[in-house]
Structure 1
Amino acid sequence: MGSTAIETVRYAGFWYRALALLIDVILSWILMFIIILPLAFILGASMAGSASMQEIEAAGEGLGNFIGLLVGWLYWTIFESSGWQATPGKRMLGLRVTNSEGQRIGFGRANARYWSKILSTLILLIGFLMAAFTRRKQALHDLIASTLVVKH
């Protein structure tokens, strides 16, 4: 994690990570609304008069789901593989995502980390709770992607 001979790694615990996640969910929702609302308005206006209300609602819902998925994926993946090594929520709390050697992760590893959160969620959130009990405070998605969340 640095050039010093002795350096103590402080792993980010469950509650720090949970608070960072809450902050990031709120920020990503705000970002999604900023992007989705104008696009939904344009889509609805373009379909007015030529489609039923149900078709307009279905198209808007599909657009919202797609944009939401895209924004969420890019939000976490780009921020965690950036020079910040953290989403804004993690950064506010002094957390960073690293590889097992303490180095910045690339887009591919951040991508694997993001999508493996699906597995952490599908098993009744136990994958997230693992961060409270593993030696290096790793959640299931960290173990899958070989990442650490550290405090600096």
Structure 2
Amino acid sequence: MIPYGGFWWRVLAYILDAIILQIATSIIGGIFGVGLALPLTGLGAGENAAFGMMMFGMIGASLVINWLYFAIMESSKLQATVGKLAVGVVVTDLRGERLTFARATGRYFAKILSSLILCIGYIMVAFTERKQGLHDIVASTLVYKTRDPSVLFDNREVFA
């Protein structure tokens, strides 16, 4: 039986993904944000609404980038984000099959529930029998430890 992906492997994978997403979001925000911010440099105190709308747009863009990254990667043939690949875990449905884009999307947005009340939904991974967080239970998904992370670039079984 393939072991489930434990808490610390998943934390490490998330840290790696967060770094990747921060870099990508910063680059995209820098490209678009500079162009949007230039007209705002001379705004007075009464014109904060335009700045607020720009910030709202940037937060929305960040949410979309994060959602698409996780949903596309986890529903792809790889069944994992770059961080998950690096630590050797994959996401499946309860039958061990690849996620649909809809299920991966549901899993991503269910992470909002996992974040509530001191991230207990994430901490559940350390204590549940199948190492499921609240978002995994809601989306009917499992995370498996598939290989030693030292063989990161030996993905023949993934690309077969």
Instruction: Specify the TM-score bucket, using the shorter chain as the normaliser.
Output: 0.7 to 0.9
Q: TM-score normalized by structure 2?
A: 0.83
Give the Å deviation of 1:44: 2.1
Identity %: 43
Residue equivalent to 1:21: 14
Residue equivalent to 2:134: 140
CA contact 1:44–1:56 (8 Å) conserved in 2: no
Distance 2:75 2:101 in 1: 5
Q: Which is helix-richer, 1 or 2?
A: 2
CA contact 2:40–2:51 (8 Å) conserved in 1: no
Is 1:30 aligned to 2:23, yes or no?
Answer: yes
Is 1:94 aligned to 2:80, yes or no?
Answer: no
Is 1:67 aligned to 2:57, yes or no?
Answer: no
Give the Å deviation of 1:48: 6.0
What is the aligned length?
144
Distance 2:89 2:61 in 1: 27
Deviations along 1:7-65, whole A, 9 cap, x unmatched?
A: x121000000011011111111111111111111111235566x546345323312211
Distance 1:89 1:57 in 2: 34
User: Which runs of 4 or more aligned residues in structure 1 lie more than 4 Å from their structure 2 counterparts after TM superposition?
Assistant: 46-49
Runs of 5+ in structure 1 lacking a partner? 1-7
Q: TM-score normalized by structure 1?
A: 0.88
Residue equivalent to 1:3: none
Aligned residue for 2:144, secondary structure, equals strand
Deviations along 1:79-104, whole A, 9 cap, x unmatched?
A: 11111100110011111000111110
CA contact 1:40–1:63 (8 Å) conserved in 2: no
Runs of 5+ in structure 2 lacking a partner? 147-160
Residue equivalent to 2:37: 44
